[in-house]
Amino acid sequence: MGICLASTMFILLIREKTPVFAVLLTVATGVLVLLQLMEPVRIVAEFMMNLSKQVDLQAVYLDQILKIIGIAYLAEFAAQIAQDAGQGAMAKKIELTGKLSILLLALPILSYLIETVLTLLPTGFAL
């Protein structure tokens, strides 16, 4: 957070005179923050892997969930960069692309959930 606050102050100072450098500094700060967050992300991924083993969740579904989380964060990051660069319309397109990508990756999980629910229902039960 400190890096982001310091970068924001610097960006505010240089934005009027050199807007291109302000955008580049925004991107560079974002990349630096993402690199700093790699270790916590690894810890969360390991926790989810251990949890999936405990509840006997197939690895394919965990991989899909981790991909979905990654796409959500990357799409948000890219959309914010586009918004900071004054490209609101492009930011919306990035968000839409991220949402559709998440939907596509979630289809096998949704199918698995529906199959599981159907096996739990009594025989002869119709939806």
> pLDDT tens, 39-53?
988 898 888 878 877
Regarding whether 103 and 48 lie in a shared domain, the answer is yes
- Total count of domains within the chain: 2
Measured CA to CA, the distance from residue 28 to residue 55 in angstroms comes to 40
Cα–Cα–Cα angle for 34, 39, 40, rounded to 5 degrees: 85
The mean of the pLDDT values for the chain is: 86
- The verdict on 108 and 84 lying in the same domain is yes
Same domain, 43 and 105: yes
Q: Are residues 105 and 47 in the same domain?
A: yes
pLDDT reported for residue 94 = 95
Residues 103 and 85 in one domain: yes
CA atoms within 13 A on the CB side of 85: 18
Asked whether residue 118 is assigned to any structural domain, the reply reads: no
The range of the structural domain enclosing residue 42 comes to 37-113
Residues of the chain with pLDDT under 70: 57, 59, 123-127
pLDDT of residue 127: 58
Give me 119's structure tokens.
């096996």
Q: Are residues 12 and 28 in the same domain?
A: yes
User: What is this structure's pTM?
Assistant: 0.68
Count CB atoms within 10 A of the CB of residue 80: 15
What pLDDT is attached to residue 124?
Answer: 61
Whether residues 97 and 63 fall in one domain? yes
